[in-house]
Amino acid sequence: MQQADHPFTRDEFLALYSKVPRLTVEIIIQNHEGALYLTRHDVEPCAD
């Protein structure tokens, strides 16, 4: 049996993808003087 290049239509893919949890990594960096550096996400679900 040959596997299709794209087993889902775009709409099916987007419907499935919208239900998949996305992992994010949150970091806080503190320098030796106590200043904090934060990250900012550009991609949903954690944008801004």
- Has residue 42 got a pLDDT over 90? no
Q: Where are the domains of the chain?
A: 23-48
pLDDT of amino acid 48: 60
- Has residue 46 got a pLDDT over 70? no
pLDDT tens across 8-25, in order? Answer: 999 998 999 888 887 767
Buried residues in 29-46 as b, exposed as e (16+ CB within 10 A): eeeeeeeeeeeeeeeeee
List the single range of 1-5, 10-14, 32-36, 40-44 with lowest mean pLDDT: 1-5
